[in-house]
């Protein structure tokens, strides 16, 4: 995977603030990798299928998303859905990747404090809060489409989050092992953990947000925001 290639390189100890993260390469995966080469009608069909699947999730939850139901909602043959996404997992993964690209665009080029223009510590705080809310809003989809354990940390979507977290950490605590610290921070945003804390333990999102800010402060040796 491209993420593995990136992380196998010798990493600079203090990257420049504008160090490029090469988002298009990181996020090209699965059925979407050949998106620019699709014919216009094929691209429209794909968008229609994803929109139909998103509507079904909103109305019936992830359990309501079957290949047959998506085909019917999009007014296409079932074979079209299978050809485009392979199976139900491929469809759910495509939905998740689409959402991940929107989040990536926000933290790479969106307005501050999540996007460029704010100090790295403020961006890191905003980044975790954004990921936390995105995961909570799409929790069923996130759990259903999560890659199996041996592929979870080499998936390009995770690679994008990890690279961004690592770059911000290097600007805040340049002498630390920021690659490993990034894993520690991202572990607190894992969908399975958020499911456990919010749905099984009944914790409010405000407590999880406060926990993220506290964890960032402890990892970076900085004060919590007032």
Residues 6+ apart with CB under 8 A from 138: 96, 99
pLDDT at residue 182, as a whole number = 98
- CA-nearest of 223, 24, 16 to 125 is 223
CATH of the domain at 201: 1.10.357.10
pLDDT for 171: 97
The 8 Å CB, 24+ separation contacts for 175-179 are 175/13, 179/7, 179/11
Residue 149: closest CA among 192, 203, 201? 192
| Predicted pLDDT of residue 178 | 97
Gap between the Cα atoms of 27 and 160, Å rounded: 7
142 and 61, same domain (yes or no): no
Report d(CA 19, CA 200) in Å as an integer.
Answer: 40
Task: Say yes or no: 51 and 108 in one domain.
Answer: no
Range of the domain at 203: 95-221
- pLDDT number for residue 28: 43
Mean pLDDT per 10-residue section of the chain, whose length is 226 residues: 38 39 40 52 81 85 87 88 88 84 91 96 97 91 83 88 97 97 97 96 97 97 91
Count: domains in the chain = 2
């Amino acid at each position: 995977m491209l993420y593995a290639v990136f992380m196998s390189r010798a990493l600079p100890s203090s990257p420049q603030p504008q160090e490029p993260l090469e988002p298009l390469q990181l996020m090209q995966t699965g059925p979407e990798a050949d998106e620019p080469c699709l014919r216009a009608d094929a691209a429209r069909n794909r968008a229609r299928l994803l929109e139909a699947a998103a509507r079904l999730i909103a109305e019936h939850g992830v359990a309501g998303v079957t290949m047959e139901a998506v085909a019917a909602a999009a007014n296409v043959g079932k074979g079209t859905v299978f050809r485009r996404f392979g199976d139900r997992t491929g469809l759910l993964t495509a939905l998740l990747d689409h959402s991940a690209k929107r989040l990536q665009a926000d933290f790479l080029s969106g307005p501050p404090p999540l996007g460029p223009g704010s100090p790295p510590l403020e961006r890191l705080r905003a980044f975790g809060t954004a990921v936390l809310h995105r995961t909570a809003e799409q929790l069923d989809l996130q759990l259903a489409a999560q890659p199996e354990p041996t592929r979870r940390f080499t998936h390009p979507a995770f690679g994008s989050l990890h690279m961004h977290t690592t770059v911000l950490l290097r600007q805040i605590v340049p002498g630390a092992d920021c690659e490993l610290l990034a894993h520690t921070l991202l572990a607190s945003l894992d969908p399975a953990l958020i499911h456990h804390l919010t749905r099984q333990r009944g914790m409010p999102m405000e407590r999880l947000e406060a926990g993220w800010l506290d964890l960032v402060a402890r990892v970076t040796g900085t004060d919590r925001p007032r």
